Amino acid sequence: MRALLPVLALLAACTPQAPTIVGRASVIDGDTLEIHGQRIRLWGVDAPEGRQSCDAADGSAYACGRLSANRLDQHLQDRVVSCFEEDIDRYGRMVARCEVDGVDVGGWLLRQGLAARYARYAGSAYVAEEQAARRGRVGIWAGRFTTPEDWRRQRRGD
């Protein structure tokens, strides 16, 4: 039996994690979903807030927060989303990596320029996706914007 323990531990480490929650998602904002009544904050990404605006390449302002949420909603429309819990945030929401057809939703948001990498939580994850959007001057990277975290801090008066 003792000889089997290392083998069982190795098998457990190699077994794919089952999703925590699966279903059709409603988009709350550019980085928050709801599935079966459960709010889910996408791990490692920070999308512009719903009332936030950004400057386009030509300097004109646009509602980047609403655009992010709308584009995410279009992307997820009528598709099954699988989420894998990473944490619970201070508001009691599940923080999760979510996938559609095996494609990471957070990575998709970053590649589209619809969100910024939330570096303090993401560690080294999503670096390539954000760099590609920056280099391509896609979405928020085409013009100027305040990071969503700084935008929220300015509204609170910190």
Say if 12 falls within a structural domain: no
Q: What's the pTM value of the predicted model, to 2 decimals?
A: 0.86
Strands 38-42 and 94-100 come out as: parallel
Say if 101 falls within a structural domain: yes
Residue 126 to residue 113: CA distance in whole angstroms: 12
Say if 6 falls within a structural domain: no
Instruction: Give the pLDDT of residue 156.
Output: 85
Residue 47 to residue 34: CA distance in whole angstroms: 16
Instruction: Give the pLDDT of residue 1.
Output: 54
Residue 36 to residue 110: CA distance in whole angstroms: 25
Q: Which residues of the chain register pLDDT less than 50?
A: 4-15
Say if 24 falls within a structural domain: yes
Instruction: Give the pLDDT of residue 51.
Output: 95
Say if 9 falls within a structural domain: no
Say if 108 falls within a structural domain: yes
Say if 124 falls within a structural domain: yes
Q: Can you spell out the DSSP letters for the chain? A: -TTHHHHHHHHHHHSPPPPSEEEE-EEEETTEEEETTEEEEETTEEPPPTT--EE-TTS-EE-HHHHHHHHHHHHHTT-EEEEEEEEE-TTS-EEEEEEETTEEHHHHHHHTTSSEE-HHHHTTTTHHHHHHHHHHT-GGGGSB---HHHHHHHHHT-
Instruction: Give the pLDDT of residue 7.
Output: 44
Say if 5 falls within a structural domain: no
Domain of residue 52, residue span: 17-156
Domain count, the chain: 1
CATH classification of the domain holding 63: 2.40.50.90
